[in-house]
Structure 1
Amino acid sequence: MHELGVIIQVVKTIEDFAEKNEITKIDTLVLQIGELSSIIPKYVEACYPAAVDGTLLQDTKLKIELLPGNCRCYNCHKVFNLIQCNKQCPDCGSHDWELLSGREFLIKEIVAC
């Protein structure tokens, strides 16, 4: 479970940002996690309390937005969800596609009090 190390780095990044911008209290942290990324949202939620313990983010709420793993078919240009369609274009049946989204891991929003 590498999620703990990732979240610890996120905490450091946010603390640096808060210090530079004179933010003393954060209410909510919003993360975006792609469904094709190597980060598992339920593990992030599980390790979040330990990662933020004793930090500026200790009392924050965590919100996770799951980003779909979308791709575009090279043959017919249909945009579809890679997982839902089992890696095959639902229109033409092609397995030849380009990944558009789903591998992201982003700090989307920091809501200060």
Structure 2
Amino acid sequence: MHEIGVMIEVVKTVEKFAKQNGVTQIQTLVLQIGELSTVVPRYIKACYPAAIEGTLLENTQLQIEILPGNAICDSCNKVFNILESKSVCPYCNSKNWEMLTGKEFNIKEIVAC
């Protein structure tokens, strides 16, 4: 489970941003995680309390938005969800596609009090 290390780095990044911008209290941290990412959202939620203990984020809420794993078909140019379609274009049955979204891990928003 590498998520604790990931969350510790997120906390460092958010604290640095807060310090640079004069933010002293944070209410909510919003993360975006792609459904094809190597980061598992439920593990992020589980390790969040340990990662924020004793930090500026100690009393914050965590929100996670899951971004779909979408691809564009090289044959028919249609966009489809990779997981739902089992990696095959549902429009033309092609297995040739290019990933558009789904591997992201972003700090989307820091909501200050």
TM-score, normalised to structure 1, is 0.99
How far the C-alpha of 1:80 sits from its partner, in A, is: 0.2
Question: C-alpha root-mean-square deviation of aligned residues, in Å?
Answer: 0.3
Unmatched segments (≥5 aa) in structure 1 = none
Structure 1: which 4+ aligned runs deviate by more than 6 Å?
A: none
Match status 1:49 vs 2:49: yes
% identity of equivalent residues: 61
TM-score, normalised to structure 2, is 0.99
Name the CA distance, whole Å, in 2 between partners of 1:39 and 1:6: 8
Name the CA distance, whole Å, in 2 between partners of 1:19 and 1:91: 50
> One-letter code of the match for 1:98?
E
Name the CA distance, whole Å, in 2 between partners of 1:42 and 1:27: 20
How far the C-alpha of 1:82 sits from its partner, in A, is: 0.1
> One-letter code of the match for 1:90?
P
Give aligned pairs, total.
Answer: 113
Structure 1 residue matching 2:101: 3-state secondary structure: coil
Counterpart of 1:11 in structure 2 is 11
> One-letter code of the match for 1:82?
I
How far the C-alpha of 1:15 sits from its partner, in A, is: 0.4
1:63-74 aligned at under 5 Å gives the runs 63-74=63-74
Deviation track 1:37-79 (CA, whole Å, cap 9, x = no partner) reads: 1000000000000000000000000000000000000000110
Name the CA distance, whole Å, in 2 between partners of 1:90 and 1:14: 40
How far the C-alpha of 1:96 sits from its partner, in A, is: 0.2
How far the C-alpha of 1:84 sits from its partner, in A, is: 0.3
Structure 2 residue matching 1:38: 3-state secondary structure: coil
> One-letter code of the match for 1:72?
I
